[in-house]
Amino acid sequence: MCQMAPKSENENTTTEVEKSQKKSLWDRFKGIFKSDNSDYIGIDFVPNGNSVQEGVNPNSLIPSKDLDSLDSQRMNNAVKYAGDKPIVVNKNGVVLDGHHRLKYAIMNNKAVDVTIGY
């Protein structure tokens, strides 16, 4: 029967270093996943991009109205009755239709679907 020699102090240190390297490697990459990054909302709007863009960060859009002046009841109704419809913007990302849904998305950190229209 073979006997295993006890690990030296250097071998234990190497193992601990390897563990810390693996952990730091994971820490470097885990932020790219949505579930681990609470600041991630969606991709930024691409001006002159596709006519339909899904999962867009609402903060990357430019409202043509003051969002603070919008009525909260109308915002709730817009989400209730048209929440699944895309927000209509021009090719530069200026909102033409869907300001109440945009405000709701910004308040709740939700990505939106966008269509370039008009």
Residue type, position 21, single letter: Q
Residue 112 lies in a domain: yes
Whole-number pLDDT of residue 11: 52
Cβ–Cβ < 8 Å for 116, 91: yes
Do residue 19 and residue 74 come from a single domain?
A: no
Do residue 30 and residue 64 come from a single domain?
A: no
Residue 2 lies in a domain: no
Walk along the chain (118 residues) and give the pLDDT tens digit of each residue: 556 555 555 555 555 555 544 545 545 444 444 444 457 888 999 998 899 999 999 999 999 999 999 999 999 999 999 988 999 999 999 999 999 999 999 999 999 999 999 6
- Owning domain of residue 56: 52-116
Whole-number pLDDT of residue 58: 95
Whole-number pLDDT of residue 71: 94
Residue 81 lies in a domain: yes
Do residue 56 and residue 112 come from a single domain?
A: yes
Do residue 72 and residue 112 come from a single domain?
A: yes
Strand-pairing partners, residue 53, are: 114
Do residue 29 and residue 70 come from a single domain?
A: no
Do residue 73 and residue 32 come from a single domain?
A: no
Cβ–Cβ < 8 Å for 43, 93: no
Q: Longest Cα pair distance anywhere in the chain, in angstroms?
A: 82
Strand-pairing partners, residue 95, are: 89
Whole-number pLDDT of residue 1: 55
